[in-house]
A and B are shown apart, each in its own frame.
Chain A
Amino acid sequence: MAIRRRDFLKSTAAVAASLGLPRRARGAEAASIYDIERFGNARILHTTDTHAQLNPVYFREPSVNIGIGEMSGRPPHLVARAFLERFGIRPDSADAYAFTSVEFEKSAGRFGKLGGFAHLKTLIDRLRADVGDKHAMLVDGGDLWQGTGLANTLQGRDMVEVANLLGIEAMTGHWEFTYGEQALRDNLEHFKGEFLAQNVFLTEEAAFNDSPAFDKASGRVFKPSIIKELSGHRVAVIGQAFPYVPIAHPKRFTPDWTFGIREEELQKHVDALRGTDKVDAVILLSHNGMDVDLKLATRVTGIDVILGGHTHDAVPQPIPMKNAGGTTLVTNAGSNGKFLAVLDLALDKGKVGDVRYHLLPVYSELLKPDPAMAELIGKLRAPVVTDWSEKIATPDRLLYRRDNFAGPVDELICTALRTELNAEIALSPGFRWGLTALSGQPITMEDVLAETAITYPETYVQEMTGAQIKDVLEDVCDNLFNTDPYYQQGGDMVRAGGLSYTCAPANTMGSRISELKLDNGRAISASHHYKVAGWASVNGQQGAPVWDVVGRYLRSGRMFQERLGAGVTLKGVDGNPGIAG
């Protein structure tokens, strides 16, 4: 694809969203959008939730991302026009394309794909060189090792090699844990950076059995933090892994470890870093999710900046949150390699004087791929990916996943499950990773795997009563819309095929879901049994991997013959800026 320099120039080009500063128009060179004005004496580069996407991707941001209670109308719960207005982004610009769902298909043709590790490498090296390597560090917020068929097959080893070449100095984790303790430890032996997690502890049984831990006294399994010297100042980076790993995923992957937000332990650790280690800045590298981080920032003192991930929110500016000790800035840096966050700090003795933050879209057409990284990616992919290159279907519409309740990718998966497994109803997890495919462009097994590649892909068919189905919907819905973010796990609503329902997100748990109906319009009865197909169960299942089921369905050529779409009718959220108008 040719570089459409003119399109980028016509766009506002300025991606800088310096805290409190107006967005500035940039110079004539398209690539100059990556010329960041020098500020302060230390630069922290942050990637997160890349989901192992080695090559540039299309990824449409959500048009439905509802916030309830205090979270209503507050970043990250703004979409489309409301988002553009809040952050002062022009609707037809490259930024609008990168950060929102506005006119996605039209803009995809103009601005092309984003991300890719060879492109990221070029940008990261350049931004490091701009300030001098001694003044910069690169950290990753996790979900680095999962999201593709390749990463799943290699249990994340491909991404460890990529991370080493990229120069990641510290990371934390989420899906990394789903490869199990042994694979995780094997990978970490090859990882040149540090894997940090202040909130992962041995269970009492594991501690009693003398299982390995970074600190036997506290039971902490991993190193909680590192201190890096930048420009003669000491910067502490604390890792916060996804707090709900054994709940969101099968417990069998992490039987010896217990997680949680662990506010109290975090506060103690921050206090020790400040009091004993005399650090000048404390950064939390977090996989909590943005709403959890926003709450945590009001309760834990002494953290300067939370570099956040998990909820895949591309938020151009940090959100300042007040707490008893001062102000903590909270960020979230998007997903799939689309963005690189740049945090410039003016460090002083014992404090951060001021900061500038930029969330830079990684426009692959403006960046020359780094040759060494491109070669490594080619080498890693070649032996494995060839088998998945056959074109198996051509979608007649845009396929995307992200939205709170439904998306064409999951409608397709649900239809495949129902058809292939002969079930009335299908349930599919509301993951936020998974790529976007443009209408009319053929898709391959590699694309199917990019929507489904997990370590527990087995499908199932089981009988469930109407009451059980409603309970599942209520339970997952509370994960999204509990007014206390500490009770949310992140992710989106479980997708339903063959089933429509009404949802009132602002109601309380147990009273949000109503009017459940089958596709034929018949009401779901609480006591009647229904045949339900699904995958990604936290309980062990025996069925074929979901990618085989979806692949078989696509190969049959029936792709969109059936009507797709489970109707979810929303109630009580009219005018919520988390819904595109």
Chain B
Amino acid sequence: MTTTTGPHPTRRLILQGTASVVLFGLGNLAFAPARAAANDKYPEDAFKQKSEADAIKALYGKTAEPSEKVKLDAPEIAENGAVVPISVTTTLDKVTSISFFVAENPNALAASYRIPDGTMPSIANRLKMAKTTNVVAIVEADGKLFSATKEVKVTVGGCGG
């Protein structure tokens, strides 16, 4: 889960004119409702879903197709499962939102960002991961959904070499 305790990300993007925002995956902290424009209604139902498929359905009401235009950057093996740095950029046009799902977290939807018109679609955030699983990024562009997936290993550690 993520939170928007400060200004809503979309607003911050406009205010700072920056290309990306950094949010910290705050695990199971209580959720502060977004205080922004009426059309940015907090997707409570989507965040409650257990599975990735159900969360995508609740959030978007449609399915995504994999696309090489969605560039998901995540470590192969997490250095710390509590704060895994994961980012997305895309060359797709007319991007309206970017969302992150961690397949085997208790609740799959980790974060969802609205991208205002004219903003560079680039998001970096840190997500909490319960265990080794797929991270899925979905980019909504021109009304369609595009995805990229990468497995991130959360290990107990220990070495050879």
Contact = CB atoms under 8 A, between A and B. Distances in A.
Q: Do A and B come from one complex?
A: yes
Interface stretch (B34-42, B94-102, B150-158): B150-158
A249 interface: yes
B76 A491 contact: no
Interface stretch (A363-371, A429-437, A445-453): A429-437
B14 interface: no
A491 B151 contact: no
A509 B160 contact: no
Interface in B115-161: 132, 151, 153, 155-161
A59 to B, nearest CB: 15
A45 to B, nearest CB: 22
A367 to B, nearest CB: 27
B161 A251 contact: no
B157 A248 contact: yes
A479 B161 contact: no
A49 B161 CA distance: 9
A472 interface: yes
A471 B78 CA distance: 17
A460 interface: no
B63 interface: no
Contacts of A471: 156
A120 B77 CA distance: 36
Contacts of B151: 487
B79 A472 contact: no
A262 B23 CA distance: 22
A43 interface: no
Contact of A429 (B75, B85, B160): B160
B25 to A, nearest CB: 13
A472 B161 contact: no
B123 to A, nearest CB: 15
B159 A509 contact: no
A75 B146 CA distance: 39
Contacts of B159: 244, 248-249, 429, 431, 489-491, 536
Contacts of B132: 509
Interface residues of B, number: 19
A400 interface: no
Contacts of B28: none
A259 interface: yes
Contact of A143 (B22, B77, B156, B161): B161
B66 to A, nearest CB: 18
A242 B76 contact: no
B73 A490 contact: no
A27 to B, nearest CB: 38
A482 to B, nearest CB: 8
B80 interface: yes
Contacts of A432: 160-161
Contact of B158 (A49, A204, A312, A538): A538
Contacts of B156: 471-472, 475-476, 538
Nearest to B75: A260
Contacts of A259: 79
Given A247-B79, A259-B79, A487-B76, A476 B158 contact: yes
Interface in B62-86: 73, 75-80, 85
A246 interface: yes
Most chain B Cβ neighbours within 10 Å, of A244, A312, A431, A471: A244
A289 interface: yes
A79 interface: no
B94 to A, nearest CB: 26
A494 B156 CA distance: 12
Interface in A231-279: 242, 244, 246-249, 251, 258-261, 264
Nearest to A476: B158
A338 interface: no
B160 A489 contact: yes
Contacts of B161: 49, 143, 174-175, 242, 248, 289, 310-312, 431-433, 489-491
A444 B72 CA distance: 53
Contacts of A487: 76-77, 151, 153
A430 B160 contact: yes
A458 interface: no
A194 interface: no
Contact of A479 (B22, B79, B160): B160
Interface string A33-57: 0000000000000000100000000
Contact of A251 (B73, B79, B155): B79
A143 B161 CA distance: 9
A490 B80 contact: no
A490 B157 contact: no
A492 interface: yes
Contacts of A494: 158
Contacts of A489: 77, 155, 159-161
A246 B75 CA distance: 13
A486 interface: yes
A143 B158 CA distance: 17
A175 B160 CA distance: 10
Nearest to A485: B76
Nearest to B79: A246
A540 to B, nearest CB: 13
Nearest to A471: B156
B158 A429 contact: yes
A160 to B, nearest CB: 20
Interface in A447-491: 471-472, 475-476, 478-479, 484, 486-487, 489-491
Contact of B160 (A475, A484, A492): A492
Interface string A96-126: 0000000000000000000000000000000
Given A247-B155, A479-B155, A509-B132, A491 B160 contact: yes
Contacts of A537: 158
Contacts of A475: 155-156, 158
A511 to B, nearest CB: 13
Interface of B: 22, 73, 75-80, 85, 132, 151, 153, 155-161
25 contacts: A143-B161, A244-B77, A246-B79, A246-B80, A247-B77, A248-B158, A248-B159, A258-B85, A312-B161, A429-B158, A429-B160, A432-B160, A479-B155, A479-B160, A487-B151, A489-B160, A490-B161, A491-B159, A491-B160, A491-B161, A494-B158, A536-B159, A537-B158, A538-B157, A538-B158
Given A258-B85, A476-B158, 14 more contacts: A49-B161, A174-B161, A204-B22, A246-B79, A259-B79, A260-B75, A429-B159, A431-B160, A475-B156, A487-B151, A489-B160, A494-B158, A537-B158, A538-B156
The 8 closest A-B pairs by CB, nearest first: A491-B160, A248-B159, A538-B157, A486-B76, A490-B161, A246-B79, A475-B156, A430-B160
